[in-house]
Structure formats: structure tokens, C-alpha cells
Amino acid sequence: MNASELRLDKWLWHARFARSRDKAAALIQERKVRINGQLATKLHHRLRLGDVVVLNDPSAIRVMRVRGLGLRRGSATDAVELYETLAVETA
């Protein structure tokens, strides 16, 4: 893996869509994440800048474009810089 890509589970954690890497892994294993229209089935899927992520969480379906990968899990303010929200559909 190089600096222009990051594991999907790690990105979900960095972007604060999951409170832990284990919970990020559970989202993927429960088939709640799509990358560029394809169902994400592997935790180690390599996410790149510009990829479109669809997250089907209990409260909403979120569509976002990856704008940053993050070197670490930062604050919520840092996390929102990692993606651009394209759409949100509440349940």
C-alpha cells in the first residue's frame, strides 16, 4: 500500500463513521458499504482519493467522495475534511 491509498476499515475509523476499527470491520462484514457502486466485502479494500463510498447505517444512507485519507484518527473537525458529502437519505 502506498501513500495514495488506505484500507477501507481504517478510513471509516479515521473519518469517524465507526468508533473503533472493529466496528468499522463489522460495517463491511454486514455488507453496509459500497465503493464506486461495488459491494465492499474485504476489510483491506484499498480506498483512493476520489472514490465514492456509500454507507448504509441505521439512521441514514450516506453517499460521499473521498477527499483525504488521513494519517491518524483526529478530531471530528479533522474527520469532515476526509470526505465530501454528496447525498444523505434519512431512514
Averaged pLDDT for residues 66-87:
93
Q: What pLDDT, on the 0 to 100 scale, is given for residue 57?
A: 85
Kindly indicate whether the domain formed by 5-90 is annotated with CATH number 3.10.290.10.
Answer: yes
pLDDT band at 3 (very low <50, low <70, confident <90, very high): confident
d(C-alpha 11, C-alpha 66), whole Å: 9
DSSP letters of 32-43? -EEETTEEP--T
Would you state the cell numbers that stand for residue 81, as one nine-digit string? Answer: 475534511
pTM: 0.91
Would you state the cell numbers that stand for residue 24, as one nine-digit string? Answer: 468499522
Could you state, in order of their start, the residue ranges of all structural domains in the chain? 5-90
